Amino acid sequence: MTIRSLLLIALLLLPTSLNAETLIMNGKGTRKATIFGIKVYNASLYLNEASSDPEKILTSPSEKRLTLDFLRDLSNDKIREAWSEGVRKNVTNHQEFETPVREVSEYFGEVKTGDQFEFIFKEDSLTVKRVGRDELVVKAPGIDEAFLSIWLGQNPPDEGLKRGLLGQS
């Protein structure tokens, strides 16, 4: 493990301050795919106050942060398909978010084991950070709620991960 990776892990374990708001870890879990339970990534959700209510979290104007630590390689096509399907299954007006979701997917590119991403959700704004790259900022009305609904909406890709992010496991 590189020094850079160790520093990032240490930073992720500490409470985070974003624009004077201190965020605490609300929950964490592992995204598992297929009937074989293949581990795809570990995720952690940070909020300004703990909550197990997904609707309250999604509609809150407070900043939120989601970190993803990938446990396997994924093609850009798989990422784009997963994000698009997640928004389509959880957002009534999902067509409005096709361009922003494509933009985020393109930013991800090919994902390798060990890649780490951070999503910062602010009202009508989504910032995506990848270690070693410039950040991507996407602004669109409702993008924060739409994108976070992939994990916390009515139809998440992994119920166990949703429960973990909500601090219920």
Q: Is there a contact between 140 and 124 (Cβ–Cβ < 8 Å)?
A: yes
Along the 169 residues of the chain, how does pLDDT read in single tens digits?
555 544 444 444 444 444 446 899 999 999 999 888 899 999 999 999 999 999 999 999 999 999 999 999 999 999 889 989 999 999 999 999 999 999 998 898 899 999 999 999 999 999 999 988 899 999 999 999 999 999 999 999 999 999 999 999 7
Q: Is there a contact between 147 and 104 (Cβ–Cβ < 8 Å)?
A: yes
Which pLDDT value is given to residue 103? 92
Residues linked to residue 28 through DSSP beta bridges, in sequence order? 44
Number of domains in the chain: 1
Which pLDDT value is given to residue 9? 45
Taking alpha carbons only, the member of 100, 98, 92 closest to residue 58 is 92
Domain containing 101 — which CATH number?
Answer: 3.50.70.10
Q: Is there a contact between 138 and 126 (Cβ–Cβ < 8 Å)?
A: yes
Which pLDDT value is given to residue 169? 79
Residue 107 token pair: 């930013």
Q: How far apart are CA 116 and CA 40, in angstroms?
A: 12
The whole domain housing 117 covers 3-165
Which pLDDT value is given to residue 1? 54
The model's pTM is: 0.85
Which pLDDT value is given to residue 2? 54
Write the DSSP string, 93-140: TGGGGHHHHHHHHHHH-SB-TT-EEEEEEETTEEEEEETTS--EEEE-
Alpha-carbon torsion (67, 65, 83, 152), positive or negative: positive
